[in-house]
Amino acid sequence: MFFKDIIGQEKVKKRLIRSVQEERISHAQLFSGPEGNGKLALALAYAQYISCRNRSEEDSCGTCPPCRKYAKLAHPDLHFVFPIFKNKPSQNAYCDDFLASWREMLLQSPYISLNQWGNYIEAGNAQLTIYAHESDSIIRKLSVKPFEAEFKVMIIWLPEKMNIACANKLLKMIEEPPVKTLFLMVTENEADIIATIRSRTQVIKVPRIRDTDLQDHLTGTGLYEPETVAEMVHHAHGNYLKALEFSEPTEDKQYFFDTFQNIMRLGYTAGGNSAKIPELMDLAEELAALGREKQKDFFKYAMQITREFFVMNFQKPALVYLNREEKGFGSRFSPFINERNVMLFSQLFEEGHLHISRNGNPKIIFTDTLLSVIKIIRK
């Protein structure tokens, strides 16, 4: 991975490059920021730059043996840890079991989300996590000397998904690592990482991608018309994945949108026709059968799109962040999200997300949520 291939983030790139040139490489670094801003790509480019034998003032050479191995994500001193699931509850699962799929996905694009990764490895409704026993594998890999490079590099993607026992076992190694060992952790929720690990890392804040940088990149691909690029950039709000999602929604996003439409239509008609309530209950059961991560994502989507429909009423297009299909539905539905009920909807979906996060019974949560929609939507 080259720095030049990363969208924007020039300040962060210069900081990372300068730390190598001045030999001020912190042994544990935490790349922190929102989804879709290139944090993982930066960690990969940084690791390659450190290992490159003929690095320039701006980037890796791409031709030396380490660079060629990094291009395949197959350098013997490069290790990965990421959330996974167990195929069989009775067996332990390790990241190495999914390493081939991980490399395949990253080689396609280092801009990925947890949901995309879960779909790629066909996790279904399983909750992705970094298991406690993964710490033994990490300690074993990092306890040996580097094979070829100056540093052994361990990239941990989404350490907030790490089992607490795994995090505690790694704490000693992060605090007093073997010589020439480098931890690069990539997080989207810094607050969920245990404080003892956060306090032992150098935090690198990675902001959202600037609109001008994102526009230049999308225009440079030659895949989109200028008008479409402008809409993609506006919709993205600095998230490259959301920019792509505008022109081609993911399966999850499309499912959330279709389900939200059905809930609102059934909720409205059920207020005057109780025969529609069984259909709402069927939807509640369907949502309750999803994995917890998708359930939480649905509630986040419901909060976001409710806000957008409310804002549509003010006729301020610059403040609305919806794709064309969502805007089409919103043009008809937005009057039903108004000053009398918008806060009630927001609180309802926020509470649903909170209860799912606390491992509440999803069938009860979704049943209560959808029945509450009937009461709120006619206010």
pLDDT at residue 323, rounded to an integer? 85
Tokens read off for 273:
């026709």
pLDDT at 108: 94
- 293 contact partners, CB below 8 Å, separation of at least 6: 114, 115, 118, 127, 128
Structure confidence at residue 207 (pLDDT): 96
Contact call for residues 328 and 320 (beta carbons, < 8 A): no
Evaluate whether the domain defined by 249-377 bears CATH number 1.20.272: yes
Question: Do residues 126 and 290 make contact, with C-beta atoms less than 8 angstroms apart?
Answer: no
221-231 confidence digits (pLDDT tens): 999 999 999 99
Q: CA 178 to CA 128: how far, in whole Å?
A: 29
The CA distance from 143 to 177, in Å, is 9
> Low-confidence residues of the chain, pLDDT below 50?
none
Short-list 51, 53, 90, 93, CA closest to 73: 51
Q: Give the per-residue pLDDT at 356.
A: 94
pLDDT at 271: 63
Work out whether the CA dihedral 137, 140, 145, 151 comes out positive or negative.
positive
pLDDT at residue 285, as a whole number = 95
Could you tell me which CATH number the domain at 3-207 has? 3.40.50.300
Please report the pLDDT score of residue 129 as a whole number.
Answer: 92
Instruction: List the helix and strand counts (H, then E) for the chain.
Output: 17, 5
Domain range list for the chain: 3-207, 249-377
Residue 164 phi/psi, 5-degree rounding, is -60, -35
The predicted pLDDT at position 272 comes to 63
> What is the biggest distance separating any 2 CA atoms in the chain, rounded to whole angstroms?
73
